[in-house]
């Protein structure tokens, strides 16, 4: 008798769960509905799960992630690389842009691809504005890329672009500091002569992070304050292993991981960062920030587990990158 009641209970529970799941739209369905509301025409292939659409005269592509909660936005720039010199130049440009944008950029001999994986669920407030901001981020990454490419082509690398933004508001900074204070994090102001944006350094769990406030877009650039790892440029095996590992963690994490070359030290350093929207309208900000910081911490763990000798002394190197 008791066993029969338990089976009926489990059956009803499973049925309720199925009904609840059916009510939840997949990221693809929600994405198509949002494009329609925004007046954006699109074409799609149910067989391949791709969605093609035009936004601000740019041909973009979108694909649903396997867990039905994420959408990957893509833009493909077609340009052949004819020799090793052009390939080296392209890698240099991509490294520069990756330091200023949260869009992941990769290239082959035929094309350069811009990819941005975004959470896309019904709980996101003002989802149309959210999508516009993310699409604009992809386009902005391409514009930064094209700008750097033109500089390289014209060999005019002696002048640096000045930042034209004036920061009047501190709403994003105040909200972020309030949130990390509630999380029990200590922080202090960080002075950076290379940037016009305000930054702080704060402790979270066992790591030190830096937050830079982009008030004009209500976003925060969060970085691990020290390099994740470094290898000597003469260690070709280590350099190749690190490049492969960077590609791997960029596919597995939302954070953007890149390498930089310090010629004077003759070393390659690994840096990881994430640019996130941070607004009072967003639900559960503390949980959201925990997730972002944990993802950055996991990147560091993944890289060090693969690369570091447990007895190696940690080589800390302050990062001086201009935020986007």
The torsion angles phi and psi of 206, rounded to 5 degrees, stand at -105, 5
CB 104 within 8 A of CB 246: no
**pLDDT-derived band at 260, boundaries 50, 70, 90:** confident
Least confident of 5-19, 184-198, 258-272: 5-19
Rounded CA-CA distance 195/271 in Å is 18
pTM of the model: 0.45
In this predicted structure, what is the pLDDT of residue 202? 93
Least confident of 4-8, 109-113, 246-250: 4-8
Q: What is the mean pLDDT of the chain?
A: 78
pLDDT, average across residues 230-242: 82
Rounded CA-CA distance 57/34 in Å is 18
Return the C-alpha torsion angle 47, 60, 247, 254, nearest 10.
-90
Rounded CA-CA distance 109/279 in Å is 40
Rounded CA-CA distance 321/225 in Å is 11
Architecture of domain 24-154: 2-Layer Sandwich (3.30)
In CATH terms, are 24-154 and 171-307 the same topology? yes
In this predicted structure, what is the pLDDT of residue 314? 45
Which is more confident, 128 or 101?
128
Whether pLDDT at 244 is above 90: no
Residues 6+ apart with CB under 8 A from 101: 137, 140, 141, 144, 256, 275, 324
Chain-centre distance for alpha carbon 246: 13
At residue 234's C-alpha, the angle toward residues 230 and 235, to 5°, is 60
CB 242 within 8 A of CB 227: no
pLDDT, average across residues 86-91: 80
**pLDDT-derived band at 162, boundaries 50, 70, 90:** very low
Rounded CA-CA distance 121/127 in Å is 9
Q: What is the CATH number that goes with domain 171-307?
A: 3.30.1460.10
In this predicted structure, what is the pLDDT of residue 292? 92
In this predicted structure, what is the pLDDT of residue 22? 46
Q: Domain ranges for the chain, please list them.
A: 24-154, 171-307
């Amino acid at each position: 008798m008791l066993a029969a009641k338990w089976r009926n209970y489990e059956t009803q529970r499973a049925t309720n769960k199925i009904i609840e799941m059916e009510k939840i739209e997949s990221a693809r369905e929600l994405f198509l509905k949002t494009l329609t509301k925004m007046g954006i025409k699109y074409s799609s292939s149910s067989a391949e799960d791709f969605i093609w659409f035009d936004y601000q005269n740019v041909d973009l592509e979108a694909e649903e992630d396997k867990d039905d909660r994420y959408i990957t936005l893509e833009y493909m720039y077609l340009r052949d690389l004819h020799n090793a010199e052009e390939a080296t130049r392209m890698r240099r440009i991509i490294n520069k842009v990756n330091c200023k944008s949260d869009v992941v950029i990769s290239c082959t001999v035929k094309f350069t691809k811009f990819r941005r994986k975004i959470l896309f669920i019904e709980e996101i407030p003002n989802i149309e504005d959210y999508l516009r901001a993310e699409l604009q981020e992809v386009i902005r990454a391409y514009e930064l890329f094209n700008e750097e490419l033109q500089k390289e082509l014209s060999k005019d690398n002696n002048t640096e672009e000045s930042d034209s933004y004036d920061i009047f508001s501190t709403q994003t900074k105040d909200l972020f500091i309030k949130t990390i204070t509630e999380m029990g994090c200590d922080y202090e102001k960080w002075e950076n002569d290379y940037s016009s944006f305000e930054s702080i350094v704060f402790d979270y769990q066992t790591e030190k992070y830096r937050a830079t406030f982009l008030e004009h877009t209500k976003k925060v650039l969060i970085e691990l304050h020290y390099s994740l790892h470094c290898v000597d440029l003469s260690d070709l095996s280590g350099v190749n292993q690190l490049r492969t590992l960077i590609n791997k963690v960029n596919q597995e994490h939302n954070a953007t991981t890149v390498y930089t070359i310090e010629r004077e030290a003759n070393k390659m350093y690994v840096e990881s960062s994430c640019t996130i929207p941070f607004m009072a309208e967003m639900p559960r900000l503390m949980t959201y920030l925990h997730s972002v910081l944990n993802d950055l911490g996991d990147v560091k763990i993944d890289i060090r587990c693969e690369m570091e000798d447990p007895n190696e002394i940690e080589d800390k190197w302050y990062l001086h990158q201009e935020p986007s």
